[in-house]
Structure 1
Amino acid sequence: FARVCYEEALKHANKRKTFGKTLVQHPVIRFKLGEMARQIEATHSWMEQVAYQVGTMHPLEANMKLGGVTALLKVQCTKVFEYCARESAQIFGGLSYSRGGVGEKVERLNREVRAMAVPGGSEEIMLDLGIKQMSKLAEMAKTLVEQAEQENAGNKKQMAMARAMGVNTDVFGDANAFGDPYWYQASNSPFYNESHRKLREYVRGLFEKEIMPHVFEWDENLEIPREVHRKMGSLGLTSLAMGHPYPVEYGNIPDFLKGVKIDVFHELIVSDELCRCGSGGVAWGLVGGLTIGLPPVLRFGPKAMRDRVAPECLSGEKIICLAITEPTAGSDVANIRCSAKKSSCGKYYIVNGEKKWITNGIWADYFTVAVRTGGPGMGGISLLLIEKTMPGVTTRRMKCSGVWSSGTTFISFDDVKVPVENLIGKENKGFKCIMHNFNHERFALCAQTNRFARVCYEEALKHAHRRKTFGKPLIQHQVIRWKLAEMSRLVEATHAWLENVAYQLSTMHPLEANMKLGGVTALLKVQCTKVFEYCARESAQIFGGLSYSRGGVGEKVERLNREVRAMAVPGGSEEIMLDLGVRQMRKLAEMAKTLVSEANQGNEASSRL
């Protein structure tokens, strides 16, 4: 019903004209459509995930495990339906208030919202039931894990019997309700195999030992020691952050993954586990510049450049960053001003200009830089690899609200002589190279952001069990359980969509993915950052004043509240992503309609396509 509201609104927006143009040509209407679409897609992905559990679990297992999940899923569905009913009515205007006619479906569905929200359990009861049941299940899981570790013969027999019945007993991590992705908590998934489980265990142990104890120190010191970069490289984790296809020929990977087909779910595990540290600064400090600065070199750089730069960066010996944003050009990439003019001898580009908000720039050895080599617009942009040692390059650290240990930087280029051999791709074709990595960049940001939302939720959940007010733990106050339930339903729906997109990225040809997933990843990014912002705020409310103090019990929540905007703006602001998402998905739909129509008419070229 939510999707019907959205689709009716979309069709109406394509037909209805106001002020001399169709509704869909007004940015505010595309914004509304994008907001509806992102929530529907996240919800449907979660619904498919639950359908998989129901279809693969023994009925007794499903009854035990899925009560809390389906309760929260129902709230997710009815709240999204209510939102879409309202927004579609706004797009239809008075036509949504007339029974029959063009707005018939939207008018009727607006009357039926409460009919879906109340039966089967009201939203208020479902929120409370969901978090209580999942907390109870988590306690059972913790007990099972503890008993299994004690090597009690009776417990082992019980576990063996459960497995013989096909019951999933794979509990990993701290077993806090929704504190980890759903597949960690004895649920089934079609996406993960033994190699993923080994990687999960490997990185959890590694990050808890090498990263987690030092996060506060590194953030306060504004830097991650270079030896940590080298260790990440030597242990084979940097290659797994680079996007499909993974550059295993240039970088190390863990021994147990050699010979395994690496997919996007391996990358998702590494990113998700790293971001348990609750610091965008540490996550970006370790792989932020690498994941956006090196891919253009790998995809479009000449072989000599790839062979020299890629091994150095993937090993952690050198650091690379991407330098696109300027003081006057952010998301509007086509308007960059930093210039690169050929020298009279033709052997160099002379680069002049400035770059701003460059992640890892303060200690980077290489800069993948967008420069203007031609006329205005996207057709005059090229990419150059500039080295920090080249005369005329200066860097200055920027003081930002958050992500302190990521090295956000202001860069100046003053008559920098860059050899023409350092051109990445073709001259004046750099915009295509930049766009090529945007899907992966946004997906990586989404993976980080949703784990940060989950960290906020999990920290609040643990605090609610410890902290007492009015003679009882916070968790025993219904309003606190509601807050936790609202956070968990949003995080779970978003992660299900994240896995859905990971599957598309893993199975599509790169050209197909670039064509089909631009709009999807744009909307997914908005979904992730809005959920993160909500969870950051609500977790801070549960922590109270402790969320406003640097360090201590509320350390992660305080830091993540400062870093919300750092996730919401880079890679495309929410406003631009909503507009881009709807425009790209409309364009793709029109292309599909045309191809099908021409193929049905016997058009040979369309049939071949």
Structure 2
Amino acid sequence: MSTETIQKENLLRGGQFLVKETKCEDVFTLEDLNEEQRMMRDSTNEFVDRELWAHWERFEQKDYAYTEECMRKAGELGLLSVAVPEEYGGMGMGFVSTMLVCDYISGATGSFSTAFGAHTGIGTMPITLYGTEEQKQKYVPKLASGEWFGAYCLTEPGAGSDANSGKTKAVLSDDGKYYSISGQKMWISNAGFCDLFIVFARIEDDKYVTGFIVENDPDNGISMNPEEKKLGIHSSSTRQVFFNETKVPVENMLSERGNGFKIAMNVLNIGRIKLAAACLEAQRKVVDEAAKYANERVQFKTPIANFGAIKAKLAQMATNVYAGESASYRAAKDIEDRIAIRKSEGNSHQEAELKGVEEYAIECSILKVAVSEDAQNTTDEGIQIFGGMGFSADAPMEKAWRDARIARIYEGTNEINRMLAVGMLVKKAMKGHVDLLGPATAVGEELMGIPSFETPDYSELFAEEKDLLARLKKVFLMVAGKAVEQFGPELEQHQQLMLAASDVLIEVYMAESTLLRTEKNAKREGEEAQAVQIAMSQLYLYQATETIVQKAKEAIISFTEGDEQRMMLMGLKRFTKYTNHPNVAALKIQIADKISADSGYTFD
């Protein structure tokens, strides 16, 4: 049997993590990076330290020109072209490599990270994936090199989460040679220095909007408001853009008429997992700065890093990063492998990448929510460790907290993504792509049966944790299965129930990814070498279980009653029971002592 066949057989479809066991050998971790990927990470770090971190104050002073200057330097180094195919002037690297650059380029400032993401993702990618050959030859090499910059015009005053409700119109000229676009777009990243826009407009009374490539020419009916005043990402150019009968050649229509909504949604899927990556190095920097400060700040004649309250914060911050890394790179490699499989089956680059990412849209939404919220919590604790200095704009914590806040809003709000994750999983089940009905039925039968009172063998590493994780999956199947049975297609109308179920789903994926990463590395390096990673995995699972208890109970009592409710609550208690509770305080001390000794996060 060929390696490719084995890879295809072991590669789960999106959402199947919930109903199929994943072996640790089948997940990708940061420790698995090859030499080329490590070199890409190191060169990105060097650029960040030299051009961004050393000048973080300039970004806080709304120095938009410096953001543009750094973007051009990134282009010269090839950082803007990692995901672009070689035939269009790019490096043509895999999905994991594109994640690495998104990850490590985010460490210094959200302003640059946003400009970078808007250009390489939603500015360039729509043309790469949906453009004609002529469009790609004309525009992509300029975008890949940093000669030109791109922006993405989707949001309007009345069209945010409801992206297809935009009012911008595109009217075909009498001679059929161009469209006249008129309308208002808002929150447009890179608007102040971009050379082209990806614009979504409606032709006549079409059901769906259409995408267009629009060159930025102020003499062609394009005008802008001044830069927006924002809570964070101060040097990310963000403006309203107005189109007044802007003429766009018909050959600049992107894909087919009415295909704009599909373009927008698929590009956002890719953007969501890359946004998760873009929250990781930002968190590592916060952990580094907090650890250094805690080691240097002396109160009551001892460094505050020695206090239990500070240890708890450092441990939690590091654990959040570790879990985010574990899940993000697991999903990234799954996507890369799925793309490779599709290419081997004859798919074009465009189709392979679109379908590869679409397959894991559930995981992309999960990651967007989990990692963006962890980033907010990590920066908040960073401020707290710094105390009064953390509240000062003279220290980096304050700007890190403000920059992190936007991540819960763009690429689809976290509320939207929570509901998407559950909604997409249910739809996959209805299409037969993920078998939820069988496992959910089995869980229902288990609830009616007599529980086993045998003491399992927990002698191997993570034996108890993996047993618990399997039962946590049953919690989701129990809640979601009953909800689908009761509400059917109307489930989407019960948003609070979906939000609670989504949190269960999110915690299962994040906890499993963390355990699998550590188990894989412990097998090849030894448990002693992975002692702190084991502690972080156990801590994350414990906290995930507590969250699942709370959210599942909230869900159960929201739509059940009587004997049915009592049975499900008893099942929840059975499925979330620990045989041996971990010593959470000891775990936090063990993790924090490592962070303090290393003066920062060293697990990547």
Deviations 1:486-541 (A, max 9, x none): 11112211210001111111101335424421121111111011111111211111
Is the CA contact 1:526–1:568 (under 8 Å) kept in the aligned structure 2? Answer: yes
Q: Distance in 1 between matches of 2:119 and 2:78?
A: 17
- Does 2:409 align with 1:561? no
Q: In structure 2, do the counterparts of structure 1 residues 52 and 321 end up closer, same or farther at CA, with 3 Å as the change threshold?
A: closer
Structure 2 match to 1:233? 75
> Any unmatched runs of 5+ in structure 1?
1-36, 54-181, 184-188, 254-260, 598-609
Q: Which amino acid letter does the alignment assign opposite residue 560 of structure 1?
A: A
Query: How many positions carry a matched residue from both structures?
Result: 406
Q: Distance in 2 between matches of 1:565 and 1:345?
A: 48
Q: Distance in 1 between matches of 2:389 and 2:136?
A: 48
Task: Decide which of 44, 47, 55 is 1:203's aligned counterpart.
Answer: 44
Q: Distance in 2 between matches of 1:381 and 1:301?
A: 16
- Does 2:249 align with 1:419? yes
CA RMSD of aligned residues (A): 2.7
Cα distance, 1:560 vs structure 2: 1.6
> What secondary structure is seen at the aligned counterpart in 1 of 2:192?
helix
Cα distance, 1:434 vs structure 2: 1.7
Q: Please say which of residues 587-596 and 486-495 is displaced more in the overlay.
A: 587-596
Structure 1 match to 2:177? 347
> What secondary structure is seen at the aligned counterpart in 1 of 2:220?
coil
Is the CA contact 1:233–1:251 (under 8 Å) kept in the aligned structure 2? Answer: no
Q: In structure 2, do the counterparts of structure 1 residues 402 and 593 end up closer, same or farther at CA, with 3 Å as the change threshold?
A: closer
Q: Which amino acid letter does the alignment assign opposite residue 434 of structure 1?
A: A
Structure 1 match to 2:599? none
Q: In structure 2, do the counterparts of structure 1 residues 565 and 209 end up closer, same or farther at CA, with 3 Å as the change threshold?
A: closer
Structure 1 match to 2:310? 480
Q: Please say which of residues 564-573 and 296-305 is displaced more in the overlay.
A: 296-305
Q: Which amino acid letter does the alignment assign opposite residue 135 of structure 2?
A: M
Q: Which amino acid letter does the alignment assign opposite residue 494 of structure 1?
A: G
5 Å-filtered alignment, 1:211-290, equals 211-225=52-66, 226-240=68-82, 242=83, 246-253=84-91, 262-277=93-108, 279-290=109-120
Cα distance, 1:563 vs structure 2: 1.9
Is the CA contact 2:212–2:254 (under 8 Å) kept in the aligned structure 1? Answer: yes
Q: Distance in 2 between matches of 1:489 and 1:375?
A: 51
Task: Decide which of 313, 335, 347 is 1:505's aligned counterpart.
Answer: 335
Q: Which amino acid letter does the alignment assign opposite residue 72 of structure 2?
A: R
- Does 2:416 align with 1:587? no
User: How does the TM-score come out when normalised to structure 1?
Assistant: 0.63
Cα distance, 1:595 vs structure 2: 8.9
- Does 2:236 align with 1:395? no
Is the CA contact 2:105–2:281 (under 8 Å) kept in the aligned structure 1? Answer: no
Q: Distance in 1 between matches of 2:332 and 2:358?
A: 15
Q: In structure 2, do the counterparts of structure 1 residues 549 and 583 end up closer, same or farther at CA, with 3 Å as the change threshold?
A: same
Task: Decide which of 515, 521, 530 is 2:364's aligned counterpart.
Answer: 521
Is the CA contact 2:27–2:330 (under 8 Å) kept in the aligned structure 1? Answer: no
Task: Decide which of 251, 260, 264 is 1:434's aligned counterpart.
Answer: 264
Deviations 1:370-414 (A, max 9, x none): 1111426xx331001112115210112211111111101110111
Q: Which amino acid letter does the alignment assign opposite residue 371 of structure 2?
A: C
Cα distance, 1:594 vs structure 2: 8.5
Is the CA contact 2:266–2:354 (under 8 Å) kept in the aligned structure 1? Answer: no
Structure 2 match to 1:548? 391
Cα distance, 1:564 vs structure 2: 2.7
Q: Distance in 2 between matches of 1:200 and 1:295?
A: 21
User: How does the TM-score come out when normalised to structure 2?
Assistant: 0.63
Q: In structure 2, do the counterparts of structure 1 residues 535 and 596 end up closer, same or farther at CA, with 3 Å as the change threshold?
A: closer
Q: Distance in 1 between matches of 2:106 and 2:184?
A: 31
Q: Distance in 1 between matches of 2:102 and 2:81?
A: 12
Identity of counterpart residues, as a percentage?
27
Q: Please say which of residues 494-503 and 385-394 is displaced more in the overlay.
A: 385-394
- Does 2:160 align with 1:330? yes
Structure 1 match to 2:381? 538
Structure 2 match to 1:357? 187
5 Å-filtered alignment, 1:346-385, equals 346-375=176-205, 379-385=207-213
